[in-house]
Every structure is written in structure tokens, then in C-alpha cells.
Structure 1
Amino acid sequence: MTEISSTYGAILFGASMAFGLSGIVGTQCVIYFKMYPDDLQTIKALVSAVWTLDLTHTAFICASLAYYFVTHFGDQARGDSIPWSIALTVVVTAIQTFLVQCFFAQKILRSSKNNWYITGPIILLSLLRLLAASVSTVEMIQLHSYSAFGARYPGWVFTTGLSLSAGVDILITGWLYYFLREIRARTGSTIMIQAIDNLTLYTLETGALTSLAAVASLICWLIMPTNLIFLGLHFVIGKLYANSLLASLNTRKELRRMRTGHGRPWVPHRVPGLSTSSLGTDTFGHANPVEVYKFNPKAARLNINVERTILEDDAETSIERSLRRYSRRFQAWERP
């Protein structure tokens, strides 16, 4: 029973999670094409490619479930067999990972003012991860056995691929966090700080999810190479990358709305015209009949409107000045 739960059960559980995440990917793709019809063709092509890869990955998972639970149902000896569909899920996941990591590397390149010393190693490591996954796929198809695949070679190739995936995620998250905190430290706008804080939280969450999934699959692969728990977790990795890309694209309008402060900055509603002197009282609250008699409601309302307008215009000018100063750097996060 333990062997079945850690082999077939792990595959079935991982496939169920992957199907759910694939549905979220499809929903986000529909939202993207409806919300951003004027995006660059390259970005639309990227989204289309990621969606196509996600559907292909899901189809391969379905084919593997049919292999284990339909074609060879009840044949426990097939638990060590690697169908071609399982092997292809590895390279499809690697291609998705490479595309998404290059997308975020582009954001780092913009934020670092085209610093290739930072961005270059990220792209190179991501390319090596794709190469390692491609070798793993070829070896899986040739060996057709999990026990043979777990040998020193090509086992270390698969280990290297997962390690590179987690490492690149950590690098991307770390650099994005660094540039966001740098922008936050130099801006004095409350609206900008709020937008940057929300974006920082989102960056850490998405980076942590993808890296934790890769690390969890790597740990299970190293500690429990005789079961398929690592494979069930590996099914989820590509879906998380696709969702992180689409979430980043679909939140751009919200970022613009937050950066502009709903079109007008928020100012506390002070009522300077209704002071104690205007109401005919002194500092200690004693009434002054003469001042009350001279109180003109129309003049008071005019005073309120004029002073409130002056306060709001001053605040808006200050905020707009700050936004113009940092908008070019922050727009790297709003553009695809």
C-alpha cells in the first residue's frame, strides 16, 4: 500500500493540482487578451506560447495517467516504467521556466539601466537549466525506467536542472526586491510607497512559490529517489511559472491606478473656516455675541473652499513632482 501511495498516488495528486493551476492559467490568459488588446505583438506571442505550452503539458499529464491507470491498470510492475509523455513534461516545464525567467530578467535589465553583468548570468543559468532538462528528457525516453534514471548519470543532470531553477528564482527575486527597495528609499510620495510595497510583497510571494516548488521537488528526488513524489511536485512547477508571468502582466493597470492615486491625491478634509474665532468663541470657549452676529455663512463656505483647494493643489503639485522624478524607473514594472 505504501508503494502504491508513493508512486501512483503521488502522480495522481500532482496531476490534480496541475489541472487546477492549468485552469487558472487559462482564465488569466483570457483576462489578459481582454484587458490589454494594444500590447506589443511580442508580449502577446509570449502569452500565447506560455498558454500553448501549458495546455501541451496538461495533455502529456493526461496521457501519462492513461498509461498508468487505463492501459496498464493493476500492473504494479509498470510503476518503474517511464512513458514518453512523462519524459516530455520535463522539457516542456523547462521551456516554460526559461521563457518566464527571461521575462523577469528583462525587468531587471530595465531597472538596472541595462546592466548585463547582472542580467547576463541569470539568462545563462536559465539556459543551462533548459539544457539539463533536455538531456534528462532524452535519457528518460532511452532508459524507460525510473531506477535506471536514478543512477549517478543521468541522475545528477536532473539534480542540476532543479538546482539551477531554484537558484535563478532566488537571484531574480533578490534583484527585483533590491531595485524596488532602492526606488522606495528615494521617493517621498506616500502613493508611490504604497504601490511599491504592494509590488514588493507580490514579487516575494511569486518568487518564493516557484523556488519552493523546485526545492521541494529536488529534496524529494534526493531523499526519496525510489518513489514518484518528486514527479508529482514537478508537475506543478511549470504551472506556477505560467501563473506568475500572467499575474505580473494582468496587474499593470492596478499599478498605474495606484501610482496616480486614483487620478487625484488624497488630502485630509480640513475645515479651516470653522475655527473658534469664526464661531464667535475665544480660546476657552466663551461666547462672543459680537463675533457671532458678524458671522456670515456664505463667506465661511467660500473660505473653506478656497483654503481646501489651495491645500489640495499644493499636495498634488508636490506628489506629481515626486512621481515625475521616479516614474521612469517605476514604469519598468508597469511595462511588459
Structure 2
Amino acid sequence: MVQATVGNTVGALQIAITVSTMLFGIVTMQCLQYMKRYPDDAAILKTLAEALRLMELGQSICVSYMMYVVTVNGSQSTRFVGLGVAVILGGLITAVVQSFFSWRLYRALPQPFSYIGIFCIVIANLRCVAAFVFSPRVITQDVEEWRTHSFALVTVLLSSGAVIDVIIAVTLVSFLLKKRQEAFSRCGPSRWHLTRIQRHHCTGLLQKSLSGSQPLQSVCNLQSWLS
């Protein structure tokens, strides 16, 4: 069995860091679009978005620096300061984002389901603490030592982050679908009329009349999106 070292795993590191840098570019674009499209949002939300972007920038700088060092030095690399700092920043970013969405779950869901949000906040912050504990090992240990002495901790870090993301996503989607059905049930006959208008619009029977009626066309587009 081949022993995992920095020298024979540098390819995987380069691929992972390249993909990570591309994702950072997407995050930067999304932040800029958010600032441009929603200038009237609360200052705390815009500050939070900018802080996350700066932490993502710091993480990208750290991992790119380590990719350069490992590529040049290869197996001679014995300290991985950049990766250690990147682990800390990654833990902070994940904790902030997951706590934000978990708090929205707590505010939106009725009791006792709202405690799902509190549970996710606690787990996200414990995961952040675990990232701080793991970061010194990343700096001082080699790849084989990570796998031998920190396998359980790395597994917990990765699996807990994925589990929290799935819980938040499933809960939010279920809640929004339920609210959508409740809204449609309150509409009653109005929804039936909107559906008929949409069908006529799609078949072209109302194309001429809708061409000069922007509000009615907007209603039809909204109904099409909701359906």
C-alpha cells in the first residue's frame, strides 16, 4: 500500500485549490450583485456579506500560497501554516453562514419545530471550535499523521457540516412549500381564474390584448413561476 505523502498527493491539492478559487470568484460576483441590487437592505446584512467575502479572500490567499509552497518544495514541506489558517477561516465562514440560516429557521418555524434552528446553531458553533482544535495539527503534522491521528476529527468536521446543510435546506424547502399551498388554498376561485388567463396567454389567444397591458402580463408571469 502506497503511503500518502505531500509529494504524491500534491495533484489532489492543486485540483482542490483550483476549484476552491473558482468558487471564490463566484462568491465575489454574488456579493457585488447583492450590493448593487439591494442597496436599501439593513446595514448588518451588508456588513455580514462583506465580512464573509473578506474571509473567503483570506482563505483563498492562504490555500494558494500553500499550493505554491508544496508545488515548489514537494516532500521537503514540513509546516503548513497556510492550510492551518485556511481551516480556521473555513470554520468561521461555515459557522456564520449556517448560524444565519438556522436563526431564520428559528424565527420562521412554529414551535416545537423552531428548535431545529437552535440545534443547528449549536452544532455549527461546535464544529467551528473543532476546526480551531484541528488547525494546529494541520500546521505541524504530515498527511499520514493527519490520517492516523486526526481521522475521526476530520470525519466529524466534514460530516457535521454536510448534515447541517441538508437539515437547513430540507426544512426551509418544506416550510416554503407548505406556505405556498396555504396561500393557494386561500386564493380559492382567484387561482382558477389566473390559471385560465395563463393558459390563454400560453396558447396565444390573449397575445394581442396582453401586448399593451404590462400589469396583466406581469400577473401571468408570476402565476407561471408559482405554478
TM range, normalised to the smaller chain?
0.7 to 0.9
Q: Give SS of 2:197's match.
A: coil
State the match for 2:63 in structure 1: 61
Q: Which runs of 4+ in 1 moved over 6 A?
A: 2-5
2:184 matched to 1:188? yes
Residues of 1 paired with 2:182 and 2:195: CA distance? 21
Residues of 2 paired with 1:114 and 1:190: CA distance? 23
1:95 aligns with one of 81, 92, 96: 92
Provide TM-score, normalisation by structure 2. Answer: 0.74
State the match for 1:195 in structure 2: none
1:145 aligns with one of 142, 146, 150: 142
One-letter code aligned to 1:173:
A
2:109 aligns with one of 97, 100, 112: 112
8 Å CA contact 2:120, 2:164 repeated in 1: yes
Q: Which structure 2 residues correspond to residues 202-221 of structure 1 after superposition, within 5 A?
A: none
2:160 matched to 1:164? yes
One-letter code aligned to 2:120:
I
After TM superposition, give the deviation of residue 106 of structure 1 in Å: 2.4
After TM superposition, give the deviation of residue 5 of structure 1 in Å: 8.7
State the match for 1:251 in structure 2: none
Q: Which structure 2 residues correspond to residues 1-336 of structure 1 after superposition, within 5 A?
A: 7-70=9-72, 72=73, 75-78=74-77, 81-113=78-110, 116-141=114-139, 143-151=140-148, 153-188=149-184, 268=197
State the match for 1:273 in structure 2: none
Cα displacement string for residues 196-239 of structure 1 (whole angstroms, at most 9, x for unaligned residues): xxxxxxxxxxxxxxxxxxxxxxxxxxxxxxxxxxxxxxxxxxxx
8 Å CA contact 1:135, 1:157 repeated in 2: no
Residues of 2 paired with 1:48 and 1:189: CA distance? 40
One-letter code aligned to 1:108:
L
Cα displacement string for residues 159-196 of structure 1 (whole angstroms, at most 9, x for unaligned residues): 211121111112112211221222133222799xxxxx
Residues of 2 paired with 1:34 and 1:110: CA distance? 27
8 Å CA contact 1:105, 1:123 repeated in 2: yes
- Unmatched 5+ residue regions in structure 1? 192-264, 271-304, 306-311, 320-336
Residues of 1 paired with 2:29 and 2:180: CA distance? 32
Residues of 2 paired with 1:190 and 1:100: CA distance? 34
8 Å CA contact 1:64, 1:83 repeated in 2: yes
Q: CA RMSD in A?
A: 3.0
8 Å CA contact 1:129, 1:164 repeated in 2: yes
8 Å CA contact 1:133, 1:161 repeated in 2: yes
8 Å CA contact 2:52, 2:93 repeated in 1: yes
8 Å CA contact 1:109, 1:119 repeated in 2: yes
After TM superposition, give the deviation of residue 125 of structure 1 in Å: 0.7
8 Å CA contact 2:91, 2:128 repeated in 1: yes
Residues of 1 paired with 2:38 and 2:116: CA distance? 30
Provide TM-score, normalisation by structure 1. Answer: 0.51
- Unmatched 5+ residue regions in structure 2? 188-193, 201-208, 210-215, 223-227
Which structure has more RCO (C-alpha within 8 Å, separation ≥ 6)? Answer: 1
| Residue correspondences, number | 193
Cα displacement string for residues 279-328 of structure 1 (whole angstroms, at most 9, x for unaligned residues): xxxxxxxxxxxxxxxxxxxxxxxxxx9xxxxxx8xxx9xx9xxxxxxxxx
Residues of 1 paired with 2:79 and 2:155: CA distance? 18
After TM superposition, give the deviation of residue 123 of structure 1 in Å: 0.5
Change (3 A) 1:5 1:183: farther
Q: Give SS of 1:150's match.
A: helix
One-letter code aligned to 2:56:
D
One-letter code aligned to 1:34:
K
8 Å CA contact 1:129, 1:162 repeated in 2: no
Q: Give SS of 2:41's match.
A: coil
8 Å CA contact 1:82, 1:146 repeated in 2: no
After TM superposition, give the deviation of residue 149 of structure 1 in Å: 2.3
Larger of the two Rg values belongs to structure: 1
